[in-house]
Amino acid sequence: MTDTKRRLEPGAELDRSDALEADRALLVELEPEAGRLFDRHVKVAQEWFPHDYIPYRLGRDFDKEPWTPDQPRLTGVAQTAFEIGLLTEDNLPSYHRLIHGMFGKGDGAWINWVGRWTAEEGRHAIVLRDYLTVTRNIDPVSLERGRMTQLQQGYDHDAPSTLRGLAYVAFQELATRIAHRNTGRYSSDPVADRIMVRIAADENLHMVFYRDILGAALKLQPSAAVRAIVDEVLAFEMPGAGIPGFIRKAAQIAKAGIYDLRVHHDEVIMPILRHWRIFELEGLDAAAEEARRRLAEHLVALDQAARRFEEKVASSNLPRIASAG
Q: How far is the CB of 121 from Fe ion (least distance, A)?
A: 5
Nearer to Fe ion, 23 or 90 (CB): 90
Cβ pair 170, 209 in contact under 8 A:
no
Q: How far is the CB of 149 from Fe ion (least distance, A)?
A: 20
Cβ pair 159, 102 in contact under 8 A:
yes
Cβ pair 202, 266 in contact under 8 A:
no
Q: How far is the CB of 71 from Fe ion (least distance, A)?
A: 27
Q: How far is the CB of 151 from Fe ion (least distance, A)?
A: 15
Nearer to Fe ion, 90 or 121 (CB): 121
Reduce the DSSP state of residue 245 to 3 states and report it. Answer: coil
Nearer to Fe ion, 89 or 189 (CB): 89
Given CA atoms 245, 248, 249, 251 in this order, what sign does their dihedral have?
A: positive
Nearer to Fe ion, 26 or 179 (CB): 179
Measured CA angle at 202 (ends 26, 109), to 5 deg: 30
Q: How far is the CB of 89 from Fe ion (least distance, A)?
A: 5
Tell me the C-alpha distance between 277 and 273, whole Å: 6
Given CA atoms 216, 219, 224, 228 in this order, what sign does their dihedral have?
A: positive
Contact footprint for Fe ion (CB under 5 A): 121, 124, 173, 203, 206
Tell me the C-alpha distance between 111 and 215, whole Å: 20
Nearer to Fe ion, 137 or 172 (CB): 172
